[in-house]
Chain A
């Protein structure tokens, strides 16, 4: 992928497909590292499925559907000296506390670090595609934080508001971009 924000878009789609009602995307940045954590309350994965999920050459039928998304993320993290870890609890065995957390750590000063890019577009695209979910986005940087929670937007708009309304999406895009500008964080 050209930008890590595209990986975020791609990996968060797994949460949507897992039937999540809430997805939290949390970016934590220091001067040296960028940590991307995507947590959902979806159906989770079995331990057997989880064991193969990062392997692009796995040929078992169960993992074939997963495709290249996670292996790409792993490659991009590892080429900077970083890591990808996935924790998952299956709904079958954890009926009250299931879901998946994918965490990727990148070393920003490595020459092979892929820039974050236009993460605002990814957040807006995710909400446009799955307006019924609760999306929480938090990006903490050394110069300040940017965040949004669709539940807080619903508190103002009312529960019947559609988050994929073009006016709401345009507002959200502007809101996040302005908040990024406020902390002088580049999105390209």
Chain B
């Protein structure tokens, strides 16, 4: 059975990377987590981003945060990607599978996944 004592090992590991995390956040992934987003399935989307950003080693440049309702409830789950010097990208009707693809292609590869954006959804 897991115990709190295991956290001590994580603490030791964390001390090594504290410096790296300072000044991070060139890319910010924001997941809508109001009632509308949660009901539409935002929780697994958020968790996929958190897990994949960590497992792909992107933690130094990508931060994943939560926000409230941004007013386009019919498109929830909604995810916005902010990157310094670039236009905001709004992904709509998200799923965990789409999140995985966006981490791979957009956050890692630098290419917006046009098919999942609000612009594509409105066509």
Give the B-binding residues of A (Cβ under 8 A). Answer: 1, 6, 9-10, 13, 17, 67-69, 72, 118, 121-122, 124-125, 128-129, 152-153, 156-158, 161, 165-171, 174-175, 178-179, 182
Given A128-B50, A153-B4, A161-B14; 8 other pairs, CB 8 A cutoff? A1-B39, A6-B43, A9-B43, A13-B33, A125-B33, A125-B43, A129-B65, A168-B10
Shortest A176–chain B CB gap in Å is 9
Given that A10-B35, A69-B35 are contacting pairs, would A168 and B7 also be in contact in the complex, using a CB cutoff of 8 Å?
Answer: yes
Shortest B27–chain A CB gap in Å is 15
B side interface size, CB within 8 A: 30
The answer to whether B11 touches A122 (Cβ under 8 A) is no
Which listed residue, B2, B38, B64, touches A1 by the CB 8 Å rule? B38
Which listed residue, B14, B35, B43, B68, touches A122 by the CB 8 Å rule? B43
The answer to whether B10 touches A178 (Cβ under 8 A) is no
Which listed residue, A6, A118, A169, A175, touches B38 by the CB 8 Å rule? A6
* A-contact bits for B52-78, CB 8 A (1 contact / 0 none): 011000010000111011000000000
Give the A-binding residues of B (Cβ under 8 A). Answer: 1-2, 4-8, 10-11, 13-14, 33-35, 38-39, 43-44, 46-47, 50-51, 53-54, 59, 64-66, 68-69
**Which chain B residues lie closer than 8 Å to A68 at the CB level?**
35
Given that A167-B10, A174-B2 are contacting pairs, would A128 and B34 also be in contact in the complex, using a CB cutoff of 8 Å?
Answer: no
